[in-house]
């Protein structure tokens, strides 16, 4: 569809975090951030075990969305015209039996909400990453709380193949970790399950597709690796975006975090304390993905599904 340049807003309601982006979409398809928001709401708390979104979790998400809509109102006054905004919910809301109730509650706040399937999530993530990378064949890895998306394609041409795995940092934590810190047996069991779940897709990918030029990782696990490595007291998006992360970086940080209990882990410089309960599982997923891609490093992108959402809005794909 035809791209309509302008200012747009997006809210991504994930299993762990709820994030906002207000951005300008330019005529060439690039995206320029105006304002970002980030809140850990843990919407997917206990969903893997109970199959429903908890009342307290939905209230946390509603509070974050209410705050974001206030920010959109302020930006509209400064901008001088309406800013279209859409919200999407991903794995936790997909899995929950009361997802429709959550949609109704969010829409009463005044924003349209779509619970999107994993394939749509993957496509939006790829579009967001591609908006800030030159033409090359890349693999995008989006490790979330309830699912992980792996998307391969050329930035100038679009997605060639993609898969959404029901493997996320909160899901793995709740499924395998029962001690604090997790035991070696728990870590090994989680690692084996992650690998067995993902391996068939990677085998097919290797058989049918050319190697990728670059692996690009998005979302909180990957960005946390950079902020921990750089000991960021204050998170710096510009330092994180485009940073190269080696396997040595991942392994050393994963070993440190897995050896600490949640209270000690939460004190790690560069780690959002709210991410401390699930970061060990996120690091395991990251290690397995690097193994399966047989890559010694990856690049971190701060352009992700949020940029993909505003690009989709600019093309009127949510109408």
Give residue-wise pLDDT tens across range 87-116: 998 777 877 888 889 889 999 999 988 888
Beta strands in the chain (DSSP E): 6-13, 17-25, 31-40, 85-89, 112-115, 137-143, 148-154, 158-165, 214-218, 244-246, 297-300
Confidence at residue 246, expressed as pLDDT on a 0 to 100 scale: 96
Is residue 319 pLDDT above 70, yes or no?
no
Confidence at residue 34, expressed as pLDDT on a 0 to 100 scale: 93
Is residue 318 pLDDT above 70, yes or no?
no
Rg value, the chain, Cα: 19
Confidence at residue 93, expressed as pLDDT on a 0 to 100 scale: 80
Give residue-wise pLDDT tens across range 5-29: 999 999 999 888 899 999 999 998 8
Give residue-wise pLDDT tens across range 211-241: 888 999 998 899 999 999 999 999 998 899 9
- Do domains 6-118+305-314 and 133-300 share one topology? The answer is yes
Is residue 186 pLDDT above 90, yes or no?
yes
Query: What sign does the CA torsion over 225, 283, 41, 67 have?
Result: positive
Domain covering 6-118+305-314: architecture: 2-Layer Sandwich (3.30)
Rounded to whole angstroms, the Cα distance separating 316 from 318 reads 6
List the chain domain ranges: 6-118+305-314, 133-300
CATH class of 133-300: alpha beta
For strand 85-89 and strand 6-13, is the pairing parallel, antiparallel, or unpaired?
parallel
Is residue 178 pLDDT above 60, yes or no?
yes
Give residue-wise pLDDT tens across range 114-158: 888 878 888 888 888 887 777 788 899 999 888 899 999 887 777
Predicted confidence band at 302 (pLDDT cuts at 50, 70, 90)? Answer: confident
3-state helix, strand, coil in the chain (%, to 5): 45, 20, 30
* Strands of the sheet with 158-165, listed across from one edge: 158-165, 148-154, 137-143, 214-218, 297-300, 244-246
Compute φ and ψ for 68, nearest 5 degrees. Answer: -65, -40
User: What does the buried/exposed string (b/e) look like for 119-151 if buried means 16 or more CB atoms within 10 Å of the residue's CB?
Assistant: ebbbbbbbbbbbbbbeeebbbbbbbbbbbbbbb
Question: Using an 8 Å Cβ cutoff, are 25 and 131 in contact?
Answer: no
Question: Using an 8 Å Cβ cutoff, are 187 and 163 in contact?
Answer: no
Give residue-wise pLDDT tens across range 55-76: 999 999 999 999 999 999 999 9
Q: What percent of the chain has pLDDT over 90?
A: 60
Predicted confidence band at 77 (pLDDT cuts at 50, 70, 90)? Answer: very high
| Per-position DSSP letters for 233-284, written without gaps between them | SS--HHHHTT-EEEHHHHHHHHHHHHTS-HHHHTT-TTS-GGGTTTHHHHHH
Residue 317, token pair as written in the block:
């794909």
Spell out the residues 6+ positions from residue 73 whose beta carbon is closer than 8 angstroms to its own.
none
């Amino acid at each position: 569809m035809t791209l309509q340049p302008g200012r747009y807003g997006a809210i991504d309601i994930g299993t762990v975090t709820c994030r906002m982006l207000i951005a300008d979409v330019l005529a060439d398809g690039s995206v320029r951030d105006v304002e970002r928001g980030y809140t850990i709401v843990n919407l997917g708390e206990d969903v893997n075990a109970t199959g429903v979104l908890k009342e307290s979790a939905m209230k946390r998400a509603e509070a974050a969305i209410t705050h974001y809509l206030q920010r959109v109102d302020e930006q509209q006054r400064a901008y001088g015209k309406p800013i279209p905004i859409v919200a999407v919910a991903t794995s936790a809301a997909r899995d929950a039996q009361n997802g429709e109730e959550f949609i109704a509650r969010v829409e009463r706040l005044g924003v349209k909400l779509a619970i999107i399937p994993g394939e749509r999530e993957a496509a939006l993530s790829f579009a967001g990453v591609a908006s800030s990378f030159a033409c090359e064949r890349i693999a995008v890895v989006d490790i979330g709380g309830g699912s992980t998306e792996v998307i391969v394609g050329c930035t100038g041409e679009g997605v060639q193949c993609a898969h959404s795995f029901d493997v996320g940092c909160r899901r793995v934590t709740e499924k395998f970790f029962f001690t604090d810190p997790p035991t070696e047996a728990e870590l090994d069991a989680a690692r084996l399950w992650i690998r067995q779940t993902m391996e068939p897709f990677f085998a097919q990918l290797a058989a049918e597709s050319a190697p990728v030029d670059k692996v690009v990782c998005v979302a909180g696990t990957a960005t946390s690796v950079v902020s921990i490595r750089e000991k960021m007291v204050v998170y710096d998006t510009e330092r994180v975006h485009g940073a190269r992360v080696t396997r040595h970086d991942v392994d050393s940080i994963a070993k440190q975090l897995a050896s600490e209990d949640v209270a000690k882990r939460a004190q790690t410089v560069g780690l959002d304390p709210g991410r401390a309960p699930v970061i060990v599982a996120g690091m395991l997923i990251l290690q397995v993905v690097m193994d399966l891609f047989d890559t010694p490093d990856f690049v971190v992108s701060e352009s992700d599904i949020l940029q993909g959402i505003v690009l989709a809005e600019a093309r009127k794909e949510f109408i």
